[in-house]
């Protein structure tokens, strides 16, 4: 994971990623973790979202080969507004690092964020955030 911070590397390494998974990253920033997750799931798919158009632009610019392979895509949307597109399959796993709606910094946004995440996940799908060692799992039903 050359060029990846130790914090991001440890977080992605700890995720229970498996080949073929569909993964949603919330708050992707420049796409570093999304690219690493895409590498780890082989023929799976990562959709990475961020509310910042600038961040999504940087992520797309740094992910040309992954996007061309069909294993990674980006969307500019806040998690509180996220809705799957028509025909989009649900996700096996979602993860977020430093997302205020999930880490306690923006508690008023948390109920809607968790509702949107639950709707995006398959039954039994899992949600991981930072704040553990190096991550912690939270129940999407906890909102």
CA 117 to chain centre: 10
Question: What pTM value is reported for the model?
Answer: 0.94
Name the pLDDT band for 1 (thresholds 50, 70, 90).
very low
Q: Tens of pLDDT along 8-59?
A: 989 999 999 999 999 999 999 999 999 999 999 999 999 999 999 999 999 9
Q: How far apart are CA 56 and CA 115, in angstroms?
A: 23
Name the pLDDT band for 4 (thresholds 50, 70, 90).
confident
**How many CA atoms lie within 13 Å of 3's alpha carbon, on the beta-carbon side?**
7
Domain count, the chain: 1
Do the domain assignments include residue 98?
yes
- The domain containing residue 65 runs over which residues? 6-142
Domain with residue 67: its CATH number is: 3.40.50.150
39 burial (CB, 10 Å; 0-12 / 13-18 / 19+) is middle
Q: Tens of pLDDT along 62-72?
A: 999 999 999 99
Do the domain assignments include residue 40?
yes
Do the domain assignments include residue 1?
no
């Amino acid at each position: 994971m050359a060029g990846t911070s130790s914090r991001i590397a440890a977080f992605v390494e700890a995720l229970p990623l498996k080949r073929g998974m569909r993964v949603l990253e919330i708050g992707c920033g420049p796409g570093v973790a999304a690219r690493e997750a895409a590498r780890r799931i082989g023929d799976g798919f990562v959709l990475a979202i961020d509310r910042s158009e600038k961040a999504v632009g940087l992520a797309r610019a740094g992910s040309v080969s992954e996007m061309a392979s069909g294993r990674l895509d980006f969307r500019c949307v806040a998690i509180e507004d996220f809705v799957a597109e028509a025909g989009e399959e649900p996700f096996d796993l979602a993860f977020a690092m430093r997302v205020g709606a999930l880490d306690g910094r923006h508690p008023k946004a948390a109920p809607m964020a968790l509702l949107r995440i639950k709707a995006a996940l398959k039954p039994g799908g899992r949600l991981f955030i930072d704040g553990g060692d190096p991550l912690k799992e939270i129940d999407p039903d906890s909102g």
